[in-house]
Structure 1
Amino acid sequence: MDPPISVTLVHRAPRPATYSIEQLFEVIREAMPADIQTTVIRAPSPRATPGAMFQNARACVKADPKIAHIVGDVHYLALACPPQRTIVTVHDLGMLTAPQSIFARGAKRFLWFTAPLRHARLVTVISEATRNALLDTVNIDPGKVRIIPNCVAPQFRPRVAPPRNSKFRLLHIGSTPNKNLRRVALACRGLNVTLRIVGRLRPSQEQILEEAGVCFSCVSDLSLREMVAEYHQADAVVFPSLLEGFGMPIIEAQACGVPVITSDLEPMRTVTGGYALLVNPYSVEHIRWGIVRLMSQPRLREHLSKAGVKHAAAFRATEVAEQYAELYREVARCDRC
């Protein structure tokens, strides 16, 4: 019997309230088949200064991975790993779309994308939309880019029954600009809803919510168990995001049996499997239409709930872990050649 294939997962440094990637790959690790043996190293520094990047690269070299898988947004660490035994996962290209100087954007494009992705043997992305955006941005061999979706943690299970809230409870995940909270707040004006927001609100966002007269509450830094409870207590999830690499809240909500309103954009459109209410995220009126439709049609809510649970089963951790395992086997076979 061949010995287990040894894989080192390289994470970014721990940062407060930024752990979704780490949680995701911990779930994948636990679901790995027996022939794959994984360990984890974390970059020592969360900073992106030359000194900190050198410190992180040195830690990566010291670990001497047999197969290195860069799983967080520290793609540049691939340059410190053997090219024929390195895989990089790209979740999105958000760092290139943030407001910044032309020089800063060019430096990030080269150090986080062009150089490490050309260096690595394989690149994985989490959706077709991310693959297209990546190939539009970086000149690399399309044949080395593979799509492996995110998985849903096993804790996200269907609730026993819909909640009995006095007001229709909408769950909104995230408070960064791409999550589109301002339009959601305006869409909720005058509706008999409670908007439950997961994320830290800026004063300007609180002001918009208050001026719209929306009944809202906010929570952040939740554990996995607490996040599952938020889904189970919601009548619907409203997620009209403007930009996502994947859109994990869609699958999490579906796995919990919660109907979803999301954007008629990629990758959200594909991720739903057709089992969500799609709206134009740039139109307050259309977002409001989606909310009112779900509020007024219990049969539609029930249909989306049941169909969503079935669709989310395709994103089980065991399915996704096997896809990564096959990549590791491919790299190991080529390394022996």
Structure 2
Amino acid sequence: MKIAIEAQRIFRPNKHGMDFVALETIRELQKREDGNKYYVIVAPGEDRCLEESSNLSIIELKCPTYPLWEQVALPWIVRHLKVDILHCTSNTAPIYSPVPLVLTLHDIIYLEPRQHRSPSFYQEMGRYYRRMVVPRILKKCKKIITVSLFECNRIREKMNISTNRIVAIYNGYSTHFYPMEVIDTHVIHQYIPKEDYLFFLGNTDPKKNTARVLQAYNLYLQQSATKRPLLIADLKEEYIDNLLQQEGIDCLKPYLYYPGYIANHDLSTLYNAAFAFLYPSLRESFGIPMIEAMACGTPVIIGNISAMPEVAGTGVLAVDPYKPEEIADALLKLETDDVFYQQQKEYGLLRAKHFSWKKTADELVKLYQSLL
């Protein structure tokens, strides 16, 4: 088969969740000798993280805006390549596709009610674009892929999609996430001056629950004898300051470290050096970071809603993410119960073995073949 894969953002330097899912899956497809020819269609960028091979060609498309890139340039090049299938990997796709369309729909959070707007203009514009495009393209998709059974059922019921048109294929995690015998302190000290900290991977999206995590951290500091600092990824100081002032907990500031974006190749070291990883999100369709932390042997605290319990399994430390006191109590239990802490480390290492990008690619190829 000749398969076009849209991976528009994978060459940008600051990649996020969906970018890594597309990139790691493509790398696994490239390793296979299945007779398929893959055409990966991207926008130009500085991080050329993928190379061509006998079974994979990279097509770079320039366009002034994302909607034009996706709705005009992408269908044009797909028609020119004369492929059998177009697979769009990041929630949206052309409203008109000249060939059968497969869509990876990671979630439909942008179609659900929310309490307040995102402070990011870019995220707001992306939300409106998806709300406009996704309901139109779902009717035209040959197959829809999502990343958990929770999200599969959510999409099927919300969008009235028949069971045979949507399938769940779990994400994986990269092999550089593993327990390190020796931790590079130079990497750690680029982000935080000491080891054995608490780690929170947040951003400005309200679903990441940053305000309640900070409330929980305040409760933790009041009761902890150790008072571990908190490393916060992907948030700027101004945003954190506003939250601290809003919640009346400015006293936390000396305990917080907020380096902004953290490169993916440094994350494994930071997970390994952390005492615990906080992921009490309000809504996740999968939650790759919690699996990455587990694979590094770091205990995680997750929200007990959406897809997180499904993915992390029954032995994980799960809390009500709407209750800061439960998050704080979970941290204190890890800190004061050495046996429980070790059990969480061991459980996480075992659970992470259920997931890999190879498994993801294997399932994807079966799906492609089913469309012949």
Q: Tell me the TM-score normalized by structure 2.
A: 0.77
The question of 1:87 aligning with 2:102 is answered yes
Which one of the candidate residues 196, 204, 209 is aligned to 1:180? 209
Which residue in 2 is equivalent to 1:289? 329
Query: What residue is the counterpart of 2:89 in the other structure?
Result: 71
1:248 and 2:288 equivalent?
A: yes
Q: Relative to structure 1, is the Cα distance of residues 245 and 63 closer, same or farther in structure 2, using a 3 angstrom cutoff? A: farther
1:303 aligns with 2:340: no
Query: 1:318-337 counterparts in 2 under 5 A?
Result: 318-332=358-372
2: CA distance, partners of 1:163 / 1:183 = 31
CA contact (8 A) 1:186 1:212 kept: no
- Pairwise CA distance, 1:105: 7.9
How many Å apart are 1:154 and its aligned residue? 1.0
Deviations 1:97-147 (A, max 9, x none): 4668xxx989744521x3222212111100122112212321222211000
Q: Does 1:34 align with 2:44?
A: no
Structure 2 SS opposite 1:188: helix
Q: Select the residue among 147, 152, 158 that pairs with 2:168.
A: 147
Q: 2: CA distance between counterparts of 1:249 and 1:315? A: 12
Alpha-carbon deviation of 1:236? 0.6
Q: Counterpart of 2:72?
A: 54
TM-score (norm 1): 0.85
Deviations 1:277-334 (A, max 9, x none): 11110011111111111111222121111121111111112111111111111123xx
Question: Is the 1:172–1:197 contact (alpha carbons within 8 Å) kept by the matching residues of 2?
Answer: yes
Partners of 1:58 and 1:80 within 8 A in 2: no
**320-329 or 204-213: which moved more?**
204-213
Cα contact 1:260–1:277 (8 A) shared by 2: yes
C-alpha distance after superposition, 1:201-253 (max 9, x if no partner):
36242344461425111123333221111111111101100111211111111
Distance 2:128 2:243 in 1: 35
* SS in structure 2 at match of 1:238: strand
| More moved, 224-233 vs 91-100 | 91-100
Deviation at 1:193, TM superposition (A): 1.8
Task: State the shift of 1:170 in Å.
Answer: 1.0
Match of residue 12, structure 1, among 8, 13, 21: 8
Q: Distance in 2 between matches of 1:96 and 1:72?
A: 15
> Deviation string for 1:37-74 (max 9, x for gaps)?
4231025448455687334443443343322111013x
Q: Which stretch shows the higher mean deviation, 171-180 or 213-222?
A: 213-222
CA distance, structure 2, for counterparts of residue 120 and residue 51 of structure 1 = 19
Amino acid at match of 2:290: I
How much is the aligned-residue C-alpha RMSD, in angstroms? 2.8
- 1 CA distance for matches of 2:294 and 2:146? 22
Q: How many residues align?
A: 321
2:307 to 242, 267, 277: 267
Confirm or deny: 8 A CA contact 2:5 2:87 kept in the other structure.
Answer: yes
Work out which structure has the larger RCO, using CA pairs closer than 8 Å and 6 or more positions apart in sequence: 1
Residue by residue, what CA displacement relative to the aligned partner does 1:150-179 show, whole Å, maximum 9, x if unpaired?
111111112337999977511101222211
Matches within 5 A, 1:123-202: 123-160=144-181, 168-176=196-204, 177-189=206-218, 190=221, 191=224, 192-201=227-236
The answer on whether the counterparts of 2:7 and 2:23 sit within 8 Å (CA) in structure 1 is no
Aligned to 1:335: none
CA apart distance, 1:89: 0.5
Partners of 2:296 and 2:201 in 1: CA distance: 15
Q: Is residue 271 of structure 2 the alignment partner of residue 217 of structure 1?
A: no
8 Å Cα contact 2:93/2:103 also seen in 1: no
Q: CA deviation at 1:77?
A: 1.9
CA contact (8 A) 2:234 2:262 kept: no
- Using the aligned pairs only, state the percent identity: 22
